[in-house]
Amino acid sequence: MFEAIVWGVVQGITEFLPISSDGHLVLVPAFLGIDGPDLTVSAVLHLGTLLAVVLYFRRELWSLTRFRTDPQARRLLVLLAVGTLPAFLALLVRDQVEELQTSVTVTAWFLILTGVVLAVADRIRPGARRVSDARIPDALLVGFAQVTAILPGLSRSGVTIATALARRFDRVEAARLSFLLGVPAVAGAGLLELRHLADGAGVDASTWVGVAVAALTGYAAIAFLLRMLNRSGLWIYALYCLAVGVVALMVL
């Protein structure tokens, strides 16, 4: 039970804060000297983070059901579809990348790279664009940035927020665009991971507790980031990623 709660907290917080969930699922077990969650547990925990983002953006997502009569809903639906198209590129290299996802050294270097990206993004003067101003080129660029996060230690939310900031979005709106365009990606990743359930491994009650914890902490992480971005920017996350990556290279 305790381990399921720990992995639920790690998954929920790091999926949405720009510090890389995949990276932490590699480095946290290495630091603690324990085994990380197996493929089945990891697959089910994705359901928690998917639930978190769907619940937080439930109004925007529910509005998509009115796409026939609501131009704004129709435009957002097109943006989600366009932003998801680059994700299919990840399928072409998924097997090769999976070989990297157990390497502490590779993960640490990519976490350092995440820190560098966040530090550069923090120096970008935010624009005034909002999600309602997003266009197809914005969705495509964020979508391509999202593909790079298949690399362990490279934060999906970090690189997509940085990309949106480079497109002159407001910081909070950049994060909102990142999360909304990430809904299909998070859902797709969860579905791909759930294939491991077909291997016959059962899911016990403690794992479902981990899912609930991942959902709660994920929801809180989204709310925290959106509330704090304009106050503190991205520098604190950049320092964290740089520090953890360097320490991992030195110690592990």
Structure tokens at 250: 């030195």
Instruction: Please compute Rg for the chain using Cα positions.
Output: 17
**Residue 136: its H or E element:** helix 136-148
With b for 16 or more beta-carbon neighbours within 10 A and e for fewer, the 236-251 pattern comes to ebbebbbebbeebeee
- At 77-133, the pLDDT tens digits run 999 999 999 988 877 777 677 777 789 999 999 999 999 999 999 999 989 999 999
Q: How does residue 9 score in pLDDT terms, banded at 50, 70 and 90?
A: very high
Q: Are 64 and 76 in contact (CB under 8 A)?
A: yes
Q: Are 130 and 90 in contact (CB under 8 A)?
A: no
Say how far apart CA 86 and CA 36 lie, in whole Å.
29
Structure tokens at 37: 């969650």
pTM of the model: 0.93
Say how far apart CA 19 and CA 154 lie, in whole Å.
8
- At 159-181, the pLDDT tens digits run 999 999 999 999 999 999 999 99
